[in-house]
Each structure stands twice: as C-alpha cells, then as structure tokens.
Amino acid sequence: MSPDRLLEIASVAELVRRRAEWEAEGRRVGLVPTMGFLHEGHLELMRRLRQRCDTLLVSIFVNPSQFGHGEDLAAYPRDPVRDAELCASVGVDALFLPAPEEVYPPGFDTWIHPGMAGERACGPWRPGHFRGVLTVVYRLFHWVRPQVSIFGRKDAQQLWLIRRMARDMGLEHRIEEGPLVRDPDGLAMSSRNIYLQPEEREAALALPRTLQALAREIAAGGNPQQLLAEAWQRLRSEKLLQPQYLELVDWQDFRQLQEGETLPQDLVLLGAVKAGKARLIDNVFLRKGREVEI
C-alpha cells in the first residue's frame, strides 16, 4: 500500500467526524498510540492489531507533558514521512496527528494521576511522566473510542498503569499487550537508541543481559533479594552506565516484592540505565513463577 492511501487526520473535529462514519459502517476501530520515529517494535503492535479490527488508526503525537525539565522534548527524533510509509506498509488505515494546542488548549489543567504503582520503578526518576502519559492516553481514548488498543511490553509500567486507568475510569475497550522487540544484539528497541554512541550501545547491553541472567536465577529458585543486590553491584561497575534501578514487582498489583515473600504467579523484573544521552529501560517477565519471557 502506498502512503497516498493513508488517511491523515490533523484535527480532533475531523477525527470525531470520521469516527462517527466508522461507527455508522459498523467498523471495529483499533488504536495504536505512538510518539512517532517508528521502529519494528511499533510495527509489530500495528500488525497484531491489524488482525483484530476493521479500521486501524495510529496516533503520532510527541506529548510534551510526559517530558520532564531537562529531558529531550526538543531533541526527540521525528521523521513523519518515513513514519507514514512504515504505517502504510503494515496496512494502517489512518494517522491521527493532532497539534499540541488541540491536545492541550490554553488553560488546560485537568490531569490523571497514577496511584502508588506510578511511584515505583521509573516514577521517582521521571516525576510527572506517568501523569502526562495517562492524561494524553485518556484524551486519545476519549476521542477515538477504540474497541481495541495495544501497548508494548517494553514499557511495562506504562502498560500496567494504562490498564489500571482504563479499569478505574470505567473504559471498557480491550487493551492488548504487544511483545518487547529486540535488535539482533539484544537491546530492546526504542526511538531513543539513536542517541547511543557505539561504545555506549555496547555497554548498554549489560542491562538486558543482567535482567535475563537474574530472571533465570530467580526462576531456578535463587534468593531474589540477594540476586538483585549482586546484579545491582555488577551493573554499577559498568563504566559507561549510570544505573537508575533494578526492581522485582508482582505483575498483578505492581507491588515491589518483600524479603522472604513467596513468589507470586507473574513477576516482572524491571531496570533502567542512562548511557550517554539515552535513558534506557528494559524488563523480563517470569510468568507462572517459572517461564522466563525475554
């Protein structure tokens, strides 16, 4: 499919009008929210949702409210032409490209705050970040009214918080979980990987390797707290990395595990590091206490 066949919707008014048409035609609408500069991880979300809806809509909006002071909002990579081509190549029907003034009109001052789960893992390192994410996602859900949406497992805490927001706010559509997609060297795909110098990228591989080794050791019955402490020391000894956290949480309620606690059914090991200008996050799931999902 050529990008010419891709409908580009630039305003909320047009989106609402199109949405009404899709509804009248009985079409099931799927939404993939993104900030653009698309990579294979995003495309995999689109391919999965393509099979579950009639009209596949991708939003591209670099959401200012989820960037903190000193973060990379101005420098965030953008490539709208390539993004449109990639979307067309996986069968996306429409792009929603709202302007910041429409998403945050003058005087906008109502926000969705995450609860306790937003204060763990990335929370302390990015104050206000999840408030910005939840608010923009809520607004997208409100305008698009999708029957199904999808978020990648790479941003596990974001996925958990969006599902909890949907439940708490009574949004009934289905929120799918997409896979974490890795580059051949094992680094989780991220639009921000472009910031990495070759030697930083090499060093950054310590994050997935540490998480994967840790998950296997925990699955094999090792003491999680002791293993976490040892892994943290190893990560800290990496010269080009500034580790931010390594956490083991219960996927059911996103609660951090306590010393000596029996392992719950579904766990996720999360980590974040800074390497040069890039802040990288990664995670590994331990499903049913045993199976390790890299």
Residues that bind ligand PAF (CB under 6 A): 33-35, 63, 66, 133, 136-137, 155, 158
Q: Rounded to the nearest whole angstrom, what is the least distance from the CB of residue 206 to ligand PAF in the complex?
A: 24
Q: Rounded to the nearest whole angstrom, what is the least distance from the CB of residue 66 to ligand PAF in the complex?
A: 6
Establish whether 113 is a catalytic residue. Answer: no
CB neighbours of residue 81 within 10 Å: 8
Give the Cα separation of 208 and 281 in Å (integer). Answer: 9
**Conformational region of residue 276, where left means phi above 0, alpha means psi within -120 to 50, and beta covers everything else:** left
Instruction: Please give the structure tokens belonging to residue 219.
Output: 């699955």
Catalytic residue among 42, 69, 142, 173: 42
Residue 55 or 66 having the CB closest to ligand PAF: 66
Residue 33 or 114 having the CB closest to ligand PAF: 33
Geometric angle at alpha carbon 273, from 63 and 73, rounded to 5°: 20
Q: Rounded to the nearest whole angstrom, what is the least distance from the CB of residue 137 to ligand PAF in the complex?
A: 6
Q: Rounded to the nearest whole angstrom, what is the least distance from the CB of residue 134 to ligand PAF in the complex?
A: 9
Residue 136 or 257 having the CB closest to ligand PAF: 136
CB neighbours of residue 164 within 10 Å: 17
Residue 138 or 203 having the CB closest to ligand PAF: 138
The DSSP annotation for 252-270 comes to TTTEEPPTTPPP-SSEEEE
In the chain the beta strands, taken as DSSP E runs, fall at 7-9, 29-34, 55-60, 94-96, 148-152, 174-178, 241-250, 255-256, 267-275, 278-287, 291-293
Residue 35 or 206 having the CB closest to ligand PAF: 35
Task: Residue 88: name the closest of 124, 50, 123 by CA.
Answer: 50
**Conformational region of residue 107, where left means phi above 0, alpha means psi within -120 to 50, and beta covers everything else:** left
Q: Rounded to the nearest whole angstrom, what is the least distance from the CB of residue 4 to ligand PAF in the complex?
A: 25
What are the residue numbers of the active site? Answer: 42
